[in-house]
Structures are given as C-alpha cells and as structure tokens.
Amino acid sequence: MTGDEALLRMLYREHGQAVLAYATRLTGDLHTAEDVVQETLLRAWRNSSVLVNGKGSVRGWLITVARNIVTDRYRAKASRPREVNDDGVAPQAKRDHADDVIQTEFVFQALNRLPVEQRAVLAQVYYRGRTVAETARVLGIPEGTVKSRVHNAMRSLRDLMSPEQARVRRRDAWERAKTPAKPHLRLVDGLRPTA
C-alpha cells in the first residue's frame, strides 16, 4: 500500500462519516452527499501536501472542500437549463383536446334538438351571463316563463346527454357510416336533377 493510499484510508476512516453527515445536510440527498465525499477525498489526495504540513485542522479543511463542492454543483446546476427531469417525477402529459371537441359537438347536437324558445333562454342565461330579469326583458317574456324554460331545457339536455342516449347516438352514427352513401342530386343550370 502506497503512502497516498494509506493517507486516503486514514482520512476516510477518521473523517469520512463527519464529512458525509455534513454533505447530507447540505444536499438533502444521501447519494449526492456520497459523491461529494468522494470528490472531497479525491481533492485531498491531489493536495496531500496541504494535509500533512501540520497547519490547521484536517477535518476543517475537508469540511470546507465539501462545502465548496456543494456550492459549485449548485451554481453549475442553476446556470444551465435542466435537460432531464431529475426529480423522479414524470412530466405531465399534455391534455388532448380531442375529448373536449367531441364533448362540445355532443352538447351542440343536444342543444339543436331543443325547441327554439328553450335554446334562446339558455343562450341568454348561460352564454351571455344575464339574470332572469334581464333575460325576460330582452326576450319580452315573463320571468316565470324564463325560469320554467331554463328548468325544462336543462331537464331535456340531461335526458339527451344521458349515457344511454349517447350509446344510441353512437350506434346510429356507426350504422349510418356503414351504409353506402346515396349519390347526391344536384340541379344543373336550374333544370332537372342529375345524378
């Protein structure tokens, strides 16, 4: 065993646990602290002449080196953008808006199946944010009528948008998609339809 190797073993045996505990407190992570201790001992090996000259405390020198390593790592990490998610948590997937588009289309179809009077009241109350009194004034109907139309429209929408109704509409759409399309008739120069 060489003298440098014996020095490193002695340093680790006498001061390794203290430096590890200090580095763990600074970093908050045992694995990172172990890397700091290893780097500290590597620097001690490179600068062994400083440790054997009898000036100052060896443990103090090791603790100072460990603190400087942690500071350097922190500064280096802060100075460059993070490339990889290193906190162990997977990045959140971006929400696909396709479901929203389908839901919006589903709501529009249900709204189109309502009577015009109920649609008009819902548009005023929910889309324009008007009160019952304002809606009654704009549409020229009594407030009680506004309330009953809103109630009936919401009940109808709930029935139209129930899971069972959704299954029926999807099944109907699937059946329509499977049947071959009929050729469209069109007027040519205002004359008779042609295929």
The CATH number covering residue 13 comes to 1.10.1740.10
Total tally of structural domains belonging to the chain = 2
Helical H segments across the chain, by residue range: 3-27, 30-46, 48-51, 58-79, 98-112, 116-122, 132-139, 143-160, 163-178
* Shared domain check, 72 and 107: no
Q: Is residue 115 part of a domain?
A: yes
pLDDT in tens, 3-55: 777 877 888 888 888 888 889 998 888 899 999 999 998 888 888 777 766 67
pLDDT in tens, 100-153: 777 778 788 888 889 999 999 988 998 889 999 999 999 999 999 999 999 999
* Shared domain check, 115 and 55: no
What does the pLDDT read at residue 186? Answer: 44
How many whole angstroms separate alpha carbon 62 and alpha carbon 58? 6
What are the two backbone dihedrals, phi and then psi, of residue 186, each rounded to the nearest 5 degrees?
Answer: -140, 155
Q: Is residue 193 part of a domain?
A: no
Q: Give the angle 131-135-138 at the CA atoms, nearest 5°.
A: 140
* Shared domain check, 125 and 171: yes
Q: How far is Cα of residue 168 from the mean position of the Cα atoms in its chain?
A: 34
* Shared domain check, 111 and 70: no
Q: Is residue 27 part of a domain?
A: yes
Q: Is residue 28 part of a domain?
A: yes
Domain enclosing residue 131, as ranges: 98-177
Q: Is residue 89 part of a domain?
A: no
* Shared domain check, 104 and 173: yes
Q: Is residue 41 part of a domain?
A: yes
Q: Is residue 26 part of a domain?
A: yes
Q: Does the predicted TM-score (pTM) go above 0.75?
A: no
pLDDT in tens, 71-98: 998 888 887 776 665 566 666 666 667 7
* Shared domain check, 104 and 38: no
